[in-house]
Structure 1
Amino acid sequence: MPDRLQPMDASFLSAETPTTPMHVGGVAVLEPSEDGLDVAVLRRRVEQRIPLVPRFRQRVRSLPAGLGPPVWVDDARFDLAYHVRRTGLPTPGTDAQFRTLVGRLISGQLDRSRPLWELYLVEGLSRGRVAVVTKSHPALVDGASGVDLLHVLLDDSPATADAVTPVWRPAPEPGPTELVLDAAVDLVRHPTHVVGAVKAGVRGAGRLLGTGTGLLMSARPAPTSPLNADPGRQRRFACARTDLDRYRRLRSSGTVNDVVLATVAGALRQWMLYRGTPLRSDSVLRALVPTSVRGGPPAAFGGDVGASVATSLIDLPIGEPNPTVRLTQIAYAMRAHAEPGRRVGADALVRLSGFAPATLNAMAARAASGLSRRLFNLVVTNAPGPQRPLYVAGARLREIYPVVPLAAGQSIAIGVTSYDGQVYFGLNADWDAVPDVDVLAGLLAESIDELTEAMV
């Protein structure tokens, strides 16, 4: 019989709405080789690699009348042409046009009647570049597969030979009666499975929400902010790129992640002032910040060593004018939330997960959807990646931007990842609530400049 969805997966799916689609994504900008990269080549590469993530050929099926948890079944009508699509810009497309297109692509919900992922090849970018935009539901990304599809498309060399594509035949789908009977028999034979599933869900929620040292110890509401508005159906996307060495030079006052958060805090401060929002010296914005820790379930990041995610609520001191003091306050707050000996460093996380920022972002999305909207103002994730060039079907990966979904009551989310000497920020924002998200993205570079000047 097919696998059942875990309790957290099932509740996560049921809570999703057209205004809060919870898929995570990525925007990969590629420089094709002389042979080019078209949709036929990309589909062939996906067809070769998708056996590594078999869940990506399965869809979710509900039981009649909700008589049991939904199950994963092979999609008998699986069509790679539906999931791997081609779109483009009028050549040569501008960066602004590309960002608008990305916002449109990430806005819509995934089709529940099909496997919960989509991949778009975007042609027509300037300087001969192309892009791959991915959308994957967290139930896929941090479930049995452990990684996003983009993760398994990446190679260390442009000269990777085509592999033999195995023939795939979907398993016969059980009928409604079979599913109900199997659920009933399982309940009779193993009544403790129900209790165990509930306990597992609670334990999983505890890991994600950092019950040991973080969130449940802090019940005070987040400060009122223009960032907290119910999102609509449309999104805007913005991005920024900065030099990783600059963050490394400043980590003597904290970790690289602390410097990233201080950079975000400085940009948010200037953005609020640009908007005319009054700030006091004690003004803060509360960020939901996931951090990888040791001791979680095996292969949570697709590796052999267990890892999990503890999520902290960190007050970003946007009212503090001194960038050095902002960094000191953030580093202190992060240390207060860290369990001694359990934090996983950037190098260890890369070894565990390869290059899968979508995994961390999927877990952050779960935590955000499970918390009251009154407890935080925005989500900020930071997933380190490898510092070497990677390739997709011979095309060199030049830029990679994460896309973190918006939870109910949130109008902006910031995903961060590092790759090949650069730090990449992806900003996902509600179309109506944050029409000036490009301004905030531009202020991120100014913020790290300000911090560097203050500390050098």
Structure 2
Amino acid sequence: MTADLLAPLDLAFWNIESAEHPMHLGALGVFTADSPSAAQHAAELLATRAAAVPGLRMRIRDVLLPVGGAARVPDPGFDPLDHVRLTGPVLDFHAAAGALMERPLDRARPPWEAHVLPAADGASFAVLFKFHHALADGLRALTLAAAVMDPVDLPPARPRPAEEAPRGLRLPLPGVRPITLGDLNLRRLPGLLRETVADVTQALDIGASVARASLDVRSSPAFTSRATGTRRTAGVALDIDDIHRVRKAAGGTVNDVLIAVVAGALRRWLDQRGNGSKGVEPRALIPVSRRRPRTAHPQGNRLSGYLIRLPVADPDPLARLRTVRTAMDRNKDAGPNRGAGAVALLADHVPALGHKLGGPVVGQAARLWFDILVTSVPLPSLGLKLGGCALAEVYPLAPLARGQSLAVAVSTYRGQVHYGLVADAAAVPDLDRLAQALRDELAELAELAEAAARKRAAVE
């Protein structure tokens, strides 16, 4: 198996991390238990199957060239039992997950873990998957996790067309042959020059957009915190039919509705805890995957993003949805390669040594760029099982940026929307209150949207 040089964005995630501020993402899956030994059987299956998944055997190590670079390489001492752990019975899956999310992954081993959590009543168990963001983005993590689930019948995959590997990936190590003058095609120089000018223009455009987005920031102290290294998680499952009813009645996309629900829930939460929502318009980073299904390189983060201001201060739920819809439409028209949300693309223009030396500084800068992360993770619609036990709920858990108190991730699975919340436990002791605010916000939004639709129908 050849080594894979980390792509620039992967390298950035690897170097941003510190022992006090881990950079792993997670997913908490809840399964129905068909026997008292279901959790133990699940842990045994995970360990056995992990041994056969090449991507789970890869650790990250420094390389000589490029200077400051790192690569994924097979771990000759890989032992799945170092990564799959069975805990004792737990009363609260999210409380247990929060404590486990605090712990950094072992950087000397393949950076992932799977913790099997049996419920105290024996009726269910949960599995918390943790993947370092340098090993896998959300889509790649989903692929790796699905590889250790029970086999499912899928339609045959279409052949993947040949594609040039992304810059900086899959170079054989060691011994990279240097480029000589004989390798240069002088006829390509005008094209190369145009590409360089385009890259510089893009960087300037993104930089200017970030500067504009930083003006007149109207956030709340509730979204910032001193990094304590502590973590708390919470989750809520909502009916996808309610989301569709709002979309059909008020317009926009499913994603617009999901973001508007977050804005309204934050308003409720801030008012309930006494921070107040008046004048608050936090900048939300909405990651956008640039990975193309079936054609994208299997490894490496391929991310951009949109940056929008959440209309938390607006008291009208329908108006909040309209504001979100307008902002997202504007971002989509511009595309994921432009605007303040596309800062991740600048990682491609930083040399490996720059990522290594500048990682701590970049990690500190996140809260200057955005106030809260709101990310969506697509899940397959087919039912997943582990050891014959059905996956009933799955809560995605996003990494928490340094200096920020809260991150929101959302996924849809088999008729439900699952919001996964990650917070600094010291800064947000009332995370369950925000989870309930999400439920209350969708209920009110659905009621108002349907009432408005009935009113329009009566007039027509």
TM-score range, shorter chain: 0.7 to 0.9
- Counterpart of 2:285 in structure 1 is 288
Tell me what 2:381 maps to. 387
1:417-439 C-alpha deviation (Å, 9 max, x unpaired):
01010110111000111111111
SS in structure 2 opposite 1:384?
Answer: coil
1:270 to 254, 268, 275: 268
Structural RMSD (CA): 3.8
Match of 1:11 in 2: 12
Paired position in structure 2 for 1:116: 111
1:141 shift after superposition: 1.2
Contact kept in structure 2, 1:215 and 1:311, CA below 8 Å:
no
Q: Which residue is 1:42 aligned to?
A: 43
Contact 2:263–2:312 (CA under 8 A) maintained in structure 1:
yes
**How many angstroms does 1:23 deviate by?**
0.6
Q: Is the 8 A contact 1:221 1:375 kept in 2?
A: no
Q: Which residue of structure 2 aligns with residue 153 of structure 1? A: 148
Residues 251, 210 of structure 1: alpha-carbon distance in 2 compared, 3 angstrom cutoff: farther
Q: Which moved more, 1:372-381 or 1:148-157?
A: 148-157
Q: What is the CA-CA distance between 1:215 and the residue it aligns to?
A: 5.4
Answer with 1 or 2: which has the greater Rg. Answer: 2
1:401 is aligned to 2:395: yes
Q: Structure 2 counterpart of 1:78, which letter? A: F
| 1:274-304 CA distance string (max 9 Å, x none) | 1112333x431221112346879932578xx
For structure 1, list consecutive stretches of 5 or more residues without a partner in the other structure: 161-177, 344-367
- Aligned residue in 2 for 1:251: 247
In structure 2, C-alpha distance between the alignment counterparts of 1:190 and 1:273, rounded to whole Å = 67
Letter in 2 for 1:182: G
* Residues 136, 148 of structure 1: 8 Å contact kept: no
Q: 2:133 aligns with which of 132, 138, 141?
A: 138
In the aligned structure 2, how far is the partner of 1:400 from the partner of 1:20?
Answer: 24
CA distance in 2, matches of 1:126, 1:35: 9
Gap regions ≥5 residues in structure 2: 155-171, 185-191, 338-361, 451-460
Distance 2:103 2:269 in 1: 28
* Distance apart, 1:334 and its partner CA: 0.7
Identity %: 33
50 and 147 in structure 1: CA distance in 2 versus 1, 3 angstrom threshold? farther
Q: 1:230 aligns with which of 219, 223, 226?
A: 226
Counterpart check, 1:94 vs 2:95: no
Deviation at 1:26, TM superposition (A): 0.3
Residue 187 of structure 1: how far off its partner (Å) = 6.7
Report deviation, 1:43.
Answer: 3.5
Which residue does the alignment assign to 1:431? 425
The CA deviation string for residues 304-337 of structure 1, in whole angstroms up to 9 with x for no partner, is: xxx9644111111111111111111111111111
Distance, in Å, in 1 between the alignment partners of 2:118 and 2:205 is 42
Query: Could you tell me whether the CA contact under 8 Å between 1:121 and 1:131 is conserved in 2?
Result: yes
Could you tell me which of 280, 292, 315 is aligned with 2:309?
A: 315
SS at match of 1:120: strand
Cα distance in 2 for residues equivalent to 1:149 and 1:277: 40
- Equivalent residue for 2:371? 377
Distance 1:221 1:81 in 2: 51
* Distance in 2, Cα, partners of 1:342 & 1:10: 21
**2:338 maps to 1:336:** no
CA distance 1:211–1:298, change in 2 (3 Å): farther
Q: How many residues get paired?
A: 393
Q: Which of 179, 182, 186 is matched with 2:175 structurally?
A: 182
The amino acid across from 2:232 in the alignment is R
Structure 1 Cα separation of the partners of residues 220 and 368 of structure 2:
10
Kindly indicate whether the alpha-carbon contact (under 8 Å) linking 2:244 and 2:254 is maintained by their aligned counterparts in 1: yes
Q: Secondary structure at the match of 2:374?
A: strand
Give the TM-score normalised by structure 2. 0.75
Residue type at the aligned position of 2:273: R
Counterpart residue identity of residue 280, structure 2: S
Q: Is the 8 A contact 1:102 1:237 kept in 2?
A: yes
The structure-2 alpha-carbon separation of the partners of 1:370 and 1:117, relative to structure 1 and needing over 3 Å to count, comes to: same
CA contact (8 A) 1:19 1:233 kept: yes
- Aligned equivalent of 2:259: 261
- SS of match in other structure, 1:140: coil
Shift in Å at residue 114 of structure 1? 0.4
Residue 418 of structure 2 aligns to a residue whose secondary structure is strand
What's the offset of the Cα at 1:46?
4.6
For 1:56 and 1:113, the matched residues in 2 are separated by 14
Relative to structure 2, which stretch is displaced further, 227-236 or 412-421? 227-236
TM-score where L is the length of structure 1 = 0.75
CA contact (8 A) 2:39 2:117 kept: no
Distance 1:437 1:430, change over 3 A: same
Q: Is the 2:306–2:336 Cα contact (8 Å) retained in structure 1?
A: no
Question: Structure 1 residues 370 and 323, CA, compared in 2 at 3 Å: closer, same or farther?
Answer: same
Q: Is the contact between residue 116 and residue 127 of structure 2 (CA under 8 Å) also seen in structure 1? A: yes
Shift of 1:375: 2.4
What is the deviation of 1:61?
1.7
Any conservation in 2 of the 1:214–1:313 contact (CA below 8 Å)?
no
CA shift, 1:120, in A, is 0.6
Q: Residue 212 and residue 420 in structure 1: after superposition, are their counterparts in 2 closer, same or farther (change >3 A)?
A: farther
* 15-24 or 60-69, larger mean C-alpha shift: 60-69
Deviation at 1:109, TM superposition (A): 1.0
**Quick check: 1:296–1:308 contact (8 Å CA) kept in 2?**
no
